[in-house]
């Protein structure tokens, strides 16, 4: 029986795992610079946490959630996103007493979407959330963090920031109505998929990738015509603050995002090398969501970024670790070998323990793995309580006792542990 991985999932190892770890380290370092606290929540939650807040008619709730009944018949869902679990955890653990609360999280999400490049059914996200501030500075701080993370991770790769405002909650309701009326006029020209969204979810038609829809959307009404004075002022302030922090952006009047909880500022960072799954980071304001989940009536804003999409763009970094191969060339030195392995690793060296008992094969393998040194032990070394150190760059080799060996490698040991 050969069991295949579940469609849309992938195993992480080797180069991709190395990149993922580097990405996570940078995220944690930057989160620390901005004094955000990390939180880790369970992978599954009560299904109710997601259904209403994400929108009963959203694609995620309608088609993509992994929902199951456990043995008590309670409905559970593998988290499809992290904002609602973070808020649930902040409420459950009383993290909302001194506001604003600034939290970040890294973890796996689950959505049953059609797999393609940059789109998986289990994928990893980083999330940054500020709970309890309606100040435009919170929106701007979060965008600044997102840009800093992308700058540090993607170096000279290009990405663009798109922003929009969805106005207040009432604005969005009125806008949906206006869109429904507008799209009904062109119903027969829209794609079948968009036709089915006219009444329940007309916002989604705006980000349809079908040519017929794109043509009609060009003349769709603009949400900006419906902004309240307050919402309009706040959007201007966000744009002004972004300019002050030297962040370039493109105002995209049709950027509406895919989840129902957004209002006011929404934004996305995109990269054109990724094909159709081009959004690296997306987020926005969600005033009203904390209350809807059973917490106090406080505002919130945040974003999430897909780690696999960043991995796809990130250049590989050569592994600079000192990789040292400890090679046994005779079965008689097994005890001396394992004792040496213990002593070397205690000194902080990274050691690949090689017990093929064939010097030629072992050296070829060490060279293939780009190891810097080989420490070779055979009967002679055992007799003399010594070690032969071979520099694999120039093939020079010399015998040492243990202390002299460590002294010789000390420069590398210090480098490795810093």
Shorter beta-carbon distance to ligand HAM: residue 282 or 378: 282
Q: What is the edge-to-edge ordering of all strands in the sheet holding 75-78?
A: 44-46, 75-78, 66-69
Asked if 139 interacts with ligand HAM (CB under 6 A), we say no
Asked if 183 interacts with ligand HAM (CB under 6 A), we say no
The angle formed by the CA atoms of residues 326, 332 and 336, to the nearest 5 degrees, is: 50
CA-closest candidate to residue 306, choices 163, 160, 149: 149
> Which of 125, 164, 271, 340 contacts ligand HAM by CB under 6 A?
125
> 364 exposed, middle or buried (CB, 10 Å; 0-12, 13-18, 19+)?
exposed
Shorter beta-carbon distance to ligand HAM: residue 133 or 323: 133
Alpha helices in 245-333 (DSSP H): 289-292, 307-313
> Which stretch in 124-132, 161-169, 196-204, 348-356 sits in contact with ligand HAM by CB under 6 A?
124-132
Shorter beta-carbon distance to ligand HAM: residue 59 or 380: 59
Q: Which two tokens stand for residue 178?
A: 């206006």
Asked if 142 interacts with ligand HAM (CB under 6 A), we say no
Q: Which of residues 257-276 bind ligand HAM (CB under 6 A)?
A: 258
Site string for ligand HAM, 198-227 (x = CB under 6 A): ------------------------------
Cis peptide bond prior to 100, omega within 30° of 0: yes
Asked if 83 interacts with ligand HAM (CB under 6 A), we say yes
Residues 239-278 as b/e (b if ≥16 CB within 10 A, e otherwise) read bebbeeeebebeebebbbbbbbbbbbbbbbbbbeebeebb
Backbone φ and ψ for 267, nearest 5 degrees, come out as: -155, 160
Asked if 19 interacts with ligand HAM (CB under 6 A), we say no
Asked if 282 interacts with ligand HAM (CB under 6 A), we say yes
Asked if 81 interacts with ligand HAM (CB under 6 A), we say yes
* CB distance 286 to 138 below 8 Å: no
Q: Which of residues 289-328 bind ligand HAM (CB under 6 A)?
A: 302-306, 308-309
Asked if 281 interacts with ligand HAM (CB under 6 A), we say yes
- Distance, in Å, from the CA atom of 127 to the CA atom of 110, rounded to the nearest integer, reads 15
Q: How far is CA 92 from CA 12, 43, 184, 186, 293, in A?
A: 32, 16, 44, 47, 11
Shorter beta-carbon distance to ligand HAM: residue 82 or 175: 82
Asked if 113 interacts with ligand HAM (CB under 6 A), we say yes
| Residue 246 falls in which region: left (phi positive, over 0), alpha (psi -120 to 50) or beta | left
- Distance, in Å, from the CA atom of 266 to the CA atom of 261, rounded to the nearest integer, reads 11
Asked if 54 interacts with ligand HAM (CB under 6 A), we say no
Residues 40-68 as b/e (b if ≥16 CB within 10 A, e otherwise) read ebeebbebebbbebbbeebbbbeebbebe
Shortest distance, position 225 Cβ to ligand HAM, whole Å: 25
Shorter beta-carbon distance to ligand HAM: residue 128 or 183: 128
Shorter beta-carbon distance to ligand HAM: residue 43 or 404: 43
Asked if 127 interacts with ligand HAM (CB under 6 A), we say yes
Shorter beta-carbon distance to ligand HAM: residue 168 or 354: 168
Asked if 53 interacts with ligand HAM (CB under 6 A), we say no
Backbone φ and ψ for 385, nearest 5 degrees, come out as: 50, 50
The residue behind tokens 């006219």 is: 198
Shorter beta-carbon distance to ligand HAM: residue 146 or 389: 146
Q: How far is CA 398 from CA 307, 359, 389, in A?
A: 46, 16, 5
Asked if 186 interacts with ligand HAM (CB under 6 A), we say no
Asked if 280 interacts with ligand HAM (CB under 6 A), we say yes
Question: Which position's Cβ is nearest ligand HAM?
Answer: 306
- Distance, in Å, from the CA atom of 50 to the CA atom of 39, rounded to the nearest integer, reads 19
Asked if 123 interacts with ligand HAM (CB under 6 A), we say yes
> Which of 104, 120, 227, 373 contacts ligand HAM by CB under 6 A?
120
Kindly list the residues in this chain that would bind ligand HAM in the complex (CB under 6 A): 81-83, 111, 113, 118-120, 123, 125, 127, 129, 258, 279-284, 286, 302-306, 308-309
């Amino acid at each position: 029986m050969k069991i295949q991985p579940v469609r849309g999932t992938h195993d992480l190892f080797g180069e991709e795992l190395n990149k993922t770890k580097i990405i996570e380290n940078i995220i944690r370092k930057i989160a620390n610079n901005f004094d955000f606290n990390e939180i880790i929540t369970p992978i599954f939650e009560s299904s109710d946490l997601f259904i209403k807040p994400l929108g009963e008619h959203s694609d995620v709730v309608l088609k993509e959630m992994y929902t199951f009944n456990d043995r008590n018949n309670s409905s559970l869902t593998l988290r499809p996103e992290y904002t609602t679990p973070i808020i649930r955890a902040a409420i459950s653990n009383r993290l909302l007493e001194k506001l604003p609360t600034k939290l970040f999280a890294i973890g796996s999400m689950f959505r049953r979407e059609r797999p393609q490049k940059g789109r998986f059914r289990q994928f990893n996200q980083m999330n940054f959330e500020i709970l309890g501030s309606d100040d435009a500075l919170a929106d701007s701080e979060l965008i600044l963090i997102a840009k800093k993370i992308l700058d540090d991770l993607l170096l000279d790769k290009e990405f663009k920031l798109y922003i929009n405002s969805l106005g207040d909650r009432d604005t969005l309701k009125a806008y949906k109505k206006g869109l429904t009326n507008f799209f009904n006029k062109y119903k027969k020209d829209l794609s079948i998929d968009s036709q089915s969204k006219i009444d329940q979810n007309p916002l989604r038609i705006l980000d349809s990738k079908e040519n017929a829809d794109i043509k009609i959307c060009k003349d769709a009404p603009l949400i900006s015509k419906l902004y309240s004075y307050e919402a309009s002022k706040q959007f201007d302030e966000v744009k002004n603050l972004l300019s002050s922090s030297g962040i370039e952006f493109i105002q995209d009047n049709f950027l509406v995002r895919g989840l129902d909880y957004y209002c006011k500022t929404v934004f996305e960072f995109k990269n054109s090398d990724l094909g159709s799954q081009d959004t690296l980071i997306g987020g926005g304001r969600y005033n009203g969501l904390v209350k809807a989940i059973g917490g106090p009536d406080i505002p919130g804003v945040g974003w999430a970024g897909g780690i696999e999409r960043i991995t796809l763009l990130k250049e590989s970094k050569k592994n600079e670790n000192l990789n040292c191969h400890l090679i046994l060339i005779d079965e008689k030195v097994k005890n001396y070998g394992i004792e040496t392995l213990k002593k070397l690793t205690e000194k902080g060296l990274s050691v690949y323990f090689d017990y093929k008992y064939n010097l030629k094969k072992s050296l070829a393998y060490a060279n293939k793995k780009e190891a810097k040194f080989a420490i070779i032990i055979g009967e002679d070394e055992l007799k003399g309580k010594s070690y032969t150190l071979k520099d694999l760059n120039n093939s020079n080799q010399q015998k040492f006792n243990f202390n002299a060996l460590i002294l010789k490698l000390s420069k590398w040991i210090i480098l490795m542990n810093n």
